[in-house]
């Protein structure tokens, strides 16, 4: 068995297929004196898969303050492994304070990299990956979600977020409203039997999942602004003409700016020109 020094080991675990557990991750779990887990039932299944039994202690948002000092103390002489139910710990999971305090106490902190749903979703989406922003779960309430989307609307990066099946269609609709109808992908059940990646515009995907909310673990990937072919002047004129049949000039310029990724002030000036033209 490989020798490991005492300290904290952040261990990535499978997000689906148990075969994705790396040999080094299995070795650390086998050597651990204690494993800090989100749910002992989930981690027990993983330990059975590699044929070991280990002491586990729950570590999550509700008990972290009380449990953390004991874990820090054990790291002086013992191997403490931190796992989440699936994927890489600290990515949309609790744990950063444990890492911070372990390092402050002078203990070894090591990471055992492996599966991460956000990164796996990026590889499936077929969208730019040179720059991306991970958002975790957006707020479930409509106003808070819209505010969160507005904050990142201008970020020139691919966006990655997690969502649940029942909320998926509403989230996609809110993204289309707040970001414009960008290209996107919905990935589901990554590395499991029914893995899929469905691509299209945000509005198309919202309509698809409004009728049949999917099951399983879901990640949404949204293209950055301007990732699609730039809209032509004719496209902008047509979109403005259509929008002005329903909206004021200012509102029409705003809607088309979001949908096509164009400058709102330029579109507003052009909308005034179109409105003044004889019919």
Mean pLDDT by runs of 10 across the 279 residues of the chain is 89 95 97 96 96 96 93 98 95 87 97 96 95 96 96 95 96 96 96 93 94 92 78 84 90 84 88 86
pLDDT at 1: 53
pLDDT at 142: 95
Q: Which CATH class is domain 117-222?
A: alpha beta
Q: What's the whole-model pTM score?
A: 0.77
Which residues, including other chains, have CB under 8 Å from residue 97's CB and lie 6 or more apart?
Answer: 64, 68
- Is residue 109 within 8 A of residue 99, CB to CB? The reply is yes
How far does CA 11 lie from the centroid of its chain?
19
H helices, E strands: number in the chain: 11, 10
Which residues, including other chains, have CB under 8 Å from residue 84's CB and lie 6 or more apart?
Answer: 13, 38, 90, 91, 93, 95
pLDDT at 278: 77
- Architecture of the domain delimited by 7-112: 3-Layer(aba) Sandwich (3.40)
C-alpha atoms less than 13 angstroms from C-alpha of 136 in its C-beta half-sphere: 11
Sequence-ordered alpha helix ranges (H) in 163-261: 168-179, 202-211, 233-243, 249-260
């Amino acid at each position: 068995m490989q020798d490991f020094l005492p300290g904290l080991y952040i261990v990535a675990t499978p997000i689906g297929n148990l075969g994705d557990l790396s040999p080094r991750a299995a070795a650390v779990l086998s050597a651990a004196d204690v494993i800090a887990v989100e749910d002992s039932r989930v981690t027990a299944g993983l330990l059975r898969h590699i044929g070991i039994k280990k002491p586990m202690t729950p570590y999550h948002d509700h008990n972290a303050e009380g449990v953390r000092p004991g874990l820090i103390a054990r790291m002086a002489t013992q191997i403490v492994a931190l796992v989440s139910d699936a994927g890489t710990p600290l990515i949309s999971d609790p744990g950063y304070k444990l890492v911070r305090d372990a390092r402050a106490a002078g203990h070894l902190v090591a990471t055992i990299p492996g599966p991460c749903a956000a990164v796996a979703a990026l590889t499936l989406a077929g969208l730019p990956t040179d720059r991306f922003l991970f958002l975790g779960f957006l707020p479930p309430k409509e106003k808070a979600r819209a505010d969160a989307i507005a904050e990142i609307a201008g970020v020139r990066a691919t966006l990655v977020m997690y969502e649940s099946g029942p909320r998926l269609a509403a989230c996609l609709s809110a993204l289309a409203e707040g970001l414009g109808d960008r290209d996107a992908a919905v990935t589901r059940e990554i590395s499991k039997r029914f893995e899929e990646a469905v691509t299209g515009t945000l509005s198309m995907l919202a309509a698809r999942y409004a009728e049949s909310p999917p099951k399983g673990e879901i990640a949404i990937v949204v293209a950055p602004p301007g990732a699609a072919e730039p809209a032509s002047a004719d496209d902008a004129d047509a979109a403005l003409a259509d929008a002005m049949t329903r909206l004021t000039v200012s509102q029409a310029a705003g809607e088309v700016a979001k949908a096509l990724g164009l400058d709102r002030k330029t579109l507003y000036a052009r909308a005034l020109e179109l409105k003044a033209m004889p019919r």
